[in-house]
Amino acid sequence: MTLCAVLAALLLVLGSAAPAAHDIPNDVTVQAFVKPERQGLRLLIRVPLIAMRDMDYPRRGAASSGLLDVARGDATLRDAATLWVADEIELFEDDVRLPYPRVAEVRASLQSDRSFASYEEALAHVTGPRLPDDTEFLWSQGMLDMLFEYPIHSEGSRFSIRPKLARLGIRTLTVLRFLPPGGAVRAFEFDGDPGLVRLDPRWHQAALQFVKLGFFHILDGTDHLLFLGCLVIPFRRIRSLVAVVTAFTVAHSITLIASAYDLAPDALWFPPLIETLIATSIVYMAVENIVFASKGTQSTESAHPSTGPGRALMASLSSPAGLAGLALKRRWLVTFGFGLVHGFGFSFALRRTLQFAGSHLLTSLLSFNIGVELGQLLVLVLLIPALDLLFRFAVAERMGTILLSALVSHTAWHWLTERADVLRRFRFEWPLVDAAFLAGAMRWMMLLVVAAALYWLVFGVLRAGKRPGDVHDTA
């Protein structure tokens, strides 16, 4: 009986200790510097030791103390650096993978150490003296600082990195700074395993990446898709849609580029305001479609001639598409205005991604817009035939327009109320009128002038170039 009790107690202890040895930390932050030099490329990296599990490190004092014996810990720290970091990082020079790095130095550091604030401080720390042998150092509360060295052909090459560090924690955040020749510093911040990160991309590499981002962003953005759907319901002819979608694209390109160049307000209330306005734009467009459809229910025989060209004209006006055709120019303006709002929404989603643009910011922004356009075209190609089939075989066009717009309006209204509730939690304060405010206001005035000029140039020319019968053709 006593033996059974001892075995049960032993199993209980082992069962409680085993999971603790394999616990994955919730949040792990990795700090890194990448610097190419004439003698080779240096990778300085700091990782919390708690993320390096199952390491049999030499202990100081009792085996259960968790204290690292700093005097005898160098070999264990090198093993940890190799197994948990060096094996999981791939570096490339001009798309050719570099050979396995040399583990030049490893250092155990206290959590209070702040040497990774800059590359120079971190390098001096890692190559400097170790902690004193009598330091009270808990493995679970320490940091491991590493210096890896890679042979390269030229410091002016194009470098890329593929960090596969997600297994270090449930959520792994990597903060990486690239120091190319010339003194510039490019900062990157990404979660988990981001795939191949080009530290200094060529223009076509950045362009291709941002075209993909724009394409998939519009497909993932439910609110932008609903707004686009509201535009399509009354306009199912390509000629009509080209003008309306072009107005939306030109407008959101203006505010997206302006935001990327830090011209947008940086107040905390601004993002929730934009999200609320986006929901408002969807509600407005859906309600406008319902109004068009409701007007189209009026009888044409009682109000208009029963024969002749007048009957054909009034019959076309009695349909939702006909009324929308006459309101095309006004809808251009409305869509253009809401496009300016949606551009700010795109900028919020793109904010963290602009770090991958390198020195090609404008190229990347334009490429993102091209990707958005391609995504919108795909939606149009799929949505227009689907709506035609729906209105031809399932429900009358007028009733279908009302039902679809009502569903969209209902969804967007819930978004509007939720986002407005979030917006009310922020306190709006009038900005201080000083030189900086006036300079910002002047920049925005210039931006509005550019927007108005683009609207007049594109849509004024298009409108002037139309034949008199085009409005009815487009409807």
Residues 98-109: pLDDT tens digits? 999 999 999 999
More reliable by pLDDT, 333 or 53: 53
Q: Which residue, among 326, 372, 363, 325, has the nearest Cα to 345 in the 3D structure?
A: 372
Q: What is the pTM of this model?
A: 0.74
Per-residue pLDDT at 162 exceeds 90:
yes
Q: Cα separation of 344 and 260, whole Å?
A: 10
Per-residue pLDDT at 471 exceeds 60:
no
Q: Cα separation of 306 and 308, whole Å?
A: 7
Q: What is the pLDDT of residue 368?
A: 92
In the chain, the amino acid numbered 97 is: R
Q: Are 252 and 224 in contact (CB under 8 A)?
A: no
Q: Are 320 and 296 in contact (CB under 8 A)?
A: yes
What number is the average pLDDT over the span 327-349? 80
What number is the average pLDDT over the span 405-428? 91
Do the bridges between strand 171-178 and strand 40-48 make them parallel or antiparallel, or are there none, so unpaired? unpaired
Q: For 11-25, 217-231, 284-298, which range has the lowest pLDDT when averaged over its residues? A: 11-25
Sign of CA dihedral 336, 454, 205, 30: negative
Q: What is the pLDDT of residue 270?
A: 86
> Where exactly are the structural domains of the chain?
24-200, 206-474
More reliable by pLDDT, 423 or 475: 423
Tell me how far the alpha carbon of residue 101 is from its chain's centroid: 32
Strand partners for 97: 92
Per-residue pLDDT at 19 exceeds 70:
no
Q: For 291-300, 380-389, 411-420, which range has the lowest pLDDT when averaged over its residues? A: 291-300
Q: What is the pLDDT of residue 219?
A: 86
Per-residue pLDDT at 451 exceeds 70:
no
Q: Cα separation of 51 and 26, whole Å?
A: 9
Digit-coded pLDDT (tens) for 234-253: 777 767 677 777 778 888 88
Give the mean pLDDT of the chain: 81
Q: What is the DSSP letter of 134?
A: T
Spell out the residues 6+ positions from residue 151 whose beta carbon is closer than 8 angstroms to its own: 40, 41, 98, 99
What number is the average pLDDT over the span 89-117? 94
Per-residue pLDDT at 298 exceeds 90:
no
Report the range out of 68-77, 439-448, 456-465 with the highest average pLDDT. Answer: 68-77
Do the bridges between strand 89-93 and strand 102-110 make them parallel or antiparallel, or are there none, so unpaired? unpaired
* pLDDT cut 90: percent of the chain above it: 39
